């Protein structure tokens, strides 16, 4: 479902936003007081849309149940909460079955792989699988095993996904085919583009199949996110067990840096509170299991110190868990970073710009540019990304669509 900005009075919207943020805080003590004070003016349609936009519906509902707020809500709102829980539980069951099947098939063929993101977050951070929704399985395999792994996925009924041309935003300027209509790339062209400009192949299933899709990664991030892809990633692993199966995933320090880099690299336009919750959860989860020296050393190897710094600042600004202070005091920030961070977050990260049209676009584009400069992405690359965004906006706004007179 595509998220739409809901027209809510500013004061009421801020109260709704504070209410959701309070539910994400580690202790959540402010939540019952906020509910008691503002329950008559809370806009639940806005709150549910906001939670869905930031992928925190399960965490939000779990906090409401924890403090006994659900029982004090009108019946129709309770029904919406029941629907959120039911869908999340169904996804969790599908994910468990998919992981079991992949584990058996890949180990049988001696494929080394790491499990990333959603399924690992649930194991490490959340007591109930339904609390943290995820919609696909992310696997990382060594580059030389990608072809073999693809063959296994195809044998399990998966199909390589070819996206619409207009949705393939990671292609550099001048490389996009002239036809920008509702067409898909051929499989051969798609594979070449993904291999050069992306970091994973998407594999999907027939609509009636209840398993989850798979994103097959050969590197952690898209080219350009880091100056060099960390070749040492396979040296930063640990084993976890769930559903009586043993999986390999990223080590404590690598998990923190992976999440920090995802938060920073996605930029303000695709910012998600769900990732910040995961990041804060890992700061607590790994407290005592990793030390600052190891974390900073690995961040230096990955050239990701500024990503880590940005994520710590965002987590402190939005959720302010106590553990942040320990890490935050030991991460240095220079004047350039501070200035760029200030500029890029002037427009709210939590909601799209209130202004529409050209002015709204320019606002978010300037924020994205300073965000990129703030995390010390190469200036040339940051400016090119900004120019590419302007050109795409102009194409959508001013050029006739295919088939139009």
pLDDT digits (tens, 9 = 90+) for 144-172: 999 999 999 999 999 998 776 555 555 55
Residue 37 lies in a domain: yes
Contact criterion met (CB below 8 Å) for 246 and 240: yes
Residue 15 lies in a domain: yes
Angstrom distance (rounded) from CA 240 to CA 142: 20
Q: How far is CA 222 from the centre of its chain?
A: 14
Looking at residue 213, its pLDDT comes to 93
Beta-carbon count within 10 A of 2 CB: 4
Residue 263 lies in a domain: no
Q: What is the span of the domain harbouring residue 17?
A: 1-73
Average pLDDT over residues 84-91: 83
pLDDT digits (tens, 9 = 90+) for 36-68: 888 888 889 888 888 888 888 888 888 898 888
Average pLDDT over residues 231-256: 87
Looking at residue 121, its pLDDT comes to 83
pLDDT above 90: residue 376: no
Assign 319 to helix, strand or coil: coil
Sign of CA dihedral 10, 16, 22, 23: negative
pLDDT digits (tens, 9 = 90+) for 261-278: 888 877 776 788 888 888
Average pLDDT over residues 339-367: 61
Angstrom distance (rounded) from CA 355 to CA 178: 31
Length of the chain in terms of residues written: 405
Looking at residue 401, its pLDDT comes to 47
- Provide the whole-model pTM: 0.80
Average pLDDT over residues 60-78: 89
Residue 34 lies in a domain: yes
Total domains in the fold of the chain: 1
pLDDT above 70: residue 110: yes
Looking at residue 109, its pLDDT comes to 93
Whole-number mean pLDDT of the chain? Answer: 77
pLDDT band at 405; cut points 50, 70, 90: very low
Looking at residue 106, its pLDDT comes to 94
Residue 46 lies in a domain: yes
Which ranges constitute the DSSP H helices of 109-186?
118-125, 146-155
pLDDT digits (tens, 9 = 90+) for 316-339: 777 765 555 555 555 555 566 666
Residue 21 lies in a domain: yes
Angle ∠(41,44,50) on CA atoms, nearest 5: 120
φ/ψ of 255, rounded to 5, equals -65, -45
- Of the candidates 184, 222, 185, 175, the one whose C-alpha atom is nearest the C-alpha of residue 200 is 222
In order of 38, 83, 293, 313, the CA distances from 325 in angstroms are 30, 37, 16, 10
Looking at residue 349, its pLDDT comes to 61
Residue 69 lies in a domain: yes
pLDDT band at 375; cut points 50, 70, 90: low
Residue 305 lies in a domain: no
Average pLDDT over residues 359-363: 65
């Amino acid at each position: 479902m595509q998220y739409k900005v809901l027209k809510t009075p500013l004061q009421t919207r801020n109260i709704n936003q504070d209410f959701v943020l309070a539910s994400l805080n580690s202790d959540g003590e402010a939540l019952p007081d906020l509910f008691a004070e503002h329950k008559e003016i809370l806009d639940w349609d806005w709150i549910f849309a906001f939670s869905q936009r930031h992928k925190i519906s399960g965490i939000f509902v779990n906090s409401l149940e924890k403090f006994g707020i659900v029982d004090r809500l009108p019946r129709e709102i309770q029904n919406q909460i029941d629907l959120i829980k039911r869908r999340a539980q169904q996804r969790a069951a599908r994910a468990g079955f998919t992981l079991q099947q992949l584990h058996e098939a890949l180990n049988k063929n001696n494929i080394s792989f790491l499990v990333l993101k959603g399924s690992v977050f649930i194991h490490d951070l959340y007591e109930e699988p339904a609390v943290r929704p995820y919609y696909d399985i992310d696997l990382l395999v060594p580059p030389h095993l990608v072809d073999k792994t693809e063959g296994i996925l195809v044998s399990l009924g998966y199909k390589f996904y070819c996206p619409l041309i207009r949705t393939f935003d990671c292609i550099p300027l001048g490389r996009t085919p002239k036809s920008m209509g509702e067409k898909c790339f051929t499989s051969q062209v798609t594979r070449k583009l993904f291999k050069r400009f992306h970091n994973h192949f998407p594999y999907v299933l027939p609509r009636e199949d209840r398993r989850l899709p798979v994103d097959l990664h050969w590197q952690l991030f898209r080219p350009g996110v880091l100056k060099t892809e960390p070749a040492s990633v396979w040296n930063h692993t640990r084993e976890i067990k769930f559903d009586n199966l043993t999986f390999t995933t990223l080590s404590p320090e690598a998990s923190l840096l992976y999440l920090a880099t995802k938060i920073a690299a996605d930029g303000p336009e695709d910012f998600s509170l769900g990732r910040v919750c995961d990041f804060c959860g890992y700061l607590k989860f790994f407290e005592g299991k990793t030390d600052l020296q190891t974390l900073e050393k690995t961040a230096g190897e990955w050239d990701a110190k500024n990503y880590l710094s940005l994520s710590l600042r965002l987590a402190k600004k939005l959720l302010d868990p106590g553990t942040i202070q320990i890490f935050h005091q030991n991460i240095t920030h220079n004047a350039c970073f501070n200035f760029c961070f200030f500029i890029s977050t002037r427009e709210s990260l939590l909601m799209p710009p209130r202004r529409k049209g050209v002015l709204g676009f320019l606002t978010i584009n300037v924020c994205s540019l300073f965000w990129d400069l703030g995390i010390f992405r190469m200036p040339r690359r940051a400016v090119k990304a900004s120019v590419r965004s302007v050109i795409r906006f102009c194409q959508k706004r001013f050029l006739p669509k295919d088939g139009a007179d």
